[in-house]
């Protein structure tokens, strides 16, 4: 039996990239997955179709994040979808993956507020709205970023927003642990997604990135999905309040080649 059979999961930003990889992995492990998307309905439907083609269960749900009422809109839609398919609105796994990684580069107040609305405010209130639907053994997993410990030019506001998720996880874990609910943060490094596609047309840049890692390759969405799948599983029931680096060991210092 798959580890997540009978479980229901919501993955935000699941129409592509890391989010899609996570949705596909959780479904492969037996979960019914709500595939959230903001605007690209076609990509979300492709994710659902890919999951169903391999025997999994999923449905797409749309909600724009970073706007008033976003958490209510999304959680209400997911609850309705779950009741339709399972007869209950119980949600076992919440993965906060959706995020803006551009838009604050010019440091305008409007762009800064928009980035934090999507990357910080939305996960915060999604968790608050989802907690009443979770029972013993619930899992909350936030997708952070390796830039919280690595200085990257032009990523200051983004780094700040991702650091907030790690703080959220540590504090909230202490509040919900008595219910058997865990919360952890996964921090990917460079992963092959639309955002990093430019890298693969520049071999020197790719070598510079991978050469700084203990594991000298660019990550794949499946690498991050595997970590999330463990944190979503029963095996992780005593693991909470952690920030897990999933960057292939980036910038660990000089390598001993002797």
Query: Where in the sequence numbering do the catalytic residues fall?
Result: 158
Read out DSSP for the chain? --TTTT-EEEETT-SSHHHHHHHHHHHHTT-EEEEEESS-HHHHHHHHHHHHHTT-EEEEEE--SSSTTHHHHHHHHHHHHHHHHHSS----EEEE-----SS-TT--HHHHHHHHIIIIIHHHHHHHHHGGG--TT-EEEEE--GGGTS--TT-HHHHHHHHHHHHHHHHHHHHHGGGT-EEEEEEE-SB-SGGGGGGGG-HHHHHHHHHTBSS-S-B-HHHHHHHHHHHHSGGGTT--S-EEEESSSBS-------
- CA-based max dimension of the chain: 61
Q: Could you tell me if 159 and 152 are in contact, meaning their C-beta atoms sit under 8 angstroms apart?
A: yes
Cβ count near 97 (within 10 Å): 25
> How far is the first Cα of the chain from the last one, in angstroms, to the nearest whole number?
45
């Amino acid at each position: 039996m798959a580890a997540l059979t009978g479980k229901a999961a919501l993955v935000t930003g699941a129409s592509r990239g890391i989010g899609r990889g996570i949705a596909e992995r959780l479904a492969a492990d037996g979960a019914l997955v709500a595939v959230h998307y903001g605007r690209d309905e076609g990509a979300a439907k492709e994710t659902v179709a890919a999951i169903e083609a391999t025997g999994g269960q999923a449905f797409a749900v749309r909600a724009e994040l970073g706007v008033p009422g976003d958490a209510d809109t999304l959680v209400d839609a997911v609850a309705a979808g779950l009741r339709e398919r399972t007869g209950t609105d119980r949600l076992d796994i919440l993965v906060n993956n959706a995020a803006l990684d551009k838009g604050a580069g010019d440091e305008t107040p409007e762009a800064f507020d928009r980035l934090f609305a999507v990357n910080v405010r939305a996960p915060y209130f999604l968790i608050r709205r989802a907690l009443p639907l979770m029972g013993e053994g619930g899992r909350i997993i936030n997708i952070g970023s390796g830039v919280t410990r690595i200085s990257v030019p032009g990523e200051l506001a983004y780094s700040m927003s991702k650091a907030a998720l790690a703080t959220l996880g540590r504090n909230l874990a202490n509040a919900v642990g008595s219910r058997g609910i865990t919360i952890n943060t996964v921090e990917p490094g460079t992963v092959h997604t639309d955002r990093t596609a430019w890298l693969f047309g520049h071999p020197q840049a790719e070598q510079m990135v991978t050469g700084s890692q203990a594991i000298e390759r660019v990550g794949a969405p499946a690498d991050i999905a595997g970590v999330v799948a463990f944190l979503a599983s029963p095996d992780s029931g005593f693991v909470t309040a952690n920030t897990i680096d999933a960057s292939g060991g980036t910038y660990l210092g000089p390598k001993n080649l002797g």
